[in-house]
Structure 1
Amino acid sequence: MINLNSPDIMDAKQASKIWGHAENYVRRIYMANPEKFPEGSIRKFGKQWVVTTQAMEAITGKKDPRKITKKT
């Protein structure tokens, strides 16, 4: 079962901001290179793009910034 409350599923604009990119980053990358996205990691619902953490890690090469712990 898919948990829609999971923080690993997010709006593309939100995801772009979390990873430190412009709001249209996910859409631009998808339009130019859809093969970079793992199967089932991005989908458009009406006008809304939804992506997974897996997709963002694949296209940016960076782990989820929300899960990185800072050393003090």
Structure 2
Amino acid sequence: MKKLKIDLNDEDYMGSHEASTMWGKQKDYVRTIYNKYPKRFPEGTIRKFGKQLIVTREGMETVTGIKKSQLAEIKRNKAKHAAEK
């Protein structure tokens, strides 16, 4: 088995709260989905370290169906719709 080298400075790895809010979800979204439906996350995209869940960009994109590259546009559209009200 080949060992993976992980760069913890890589922005594709994030804590569950950070990932949840980045994707516009409640801060406990990742933890809730992981506890109820752990198989939704592809193998190797989420891991628990003590009490902390670390998730990858790929895991979040798979679970939410939203690419990280789309997040800025989605936030702009939400802000635009909020301003129109």
Band the TM-score falls in, shorter-chain normalisation: 0.7 to 0.9
- Unaligned 5+ segments in structure 2 are 74-85
Identity over aligned pairs, percent: 49
TM-score, with length taken from structure 2: 0.75
Of the candidates 44, 47, 53, which is equivalent to residue 43 of structure 1? 47
After superposition, the CA RMSD in angstroms is 1.2
Say which structure, 1 or 2, has more relative contact order (CA 8 Å, 6+ apart). 1
Hey, which of these two has a bigger chunk of helix by percent?
2
Aligned length: 68
TM-score, with length taken from structure 1: 0.88
The structure number with the bigger radius of gyration is 2
- Unaligned 5+ segments in structure 1 are none
Instruction: Note the C-alpha offset of 1:29.
Output: 0.4
Runs of at least 4 residues off by over 2 Å: 67-70
Q: Distance in 1 between matches of 2:30 and 2:63?
A: 9
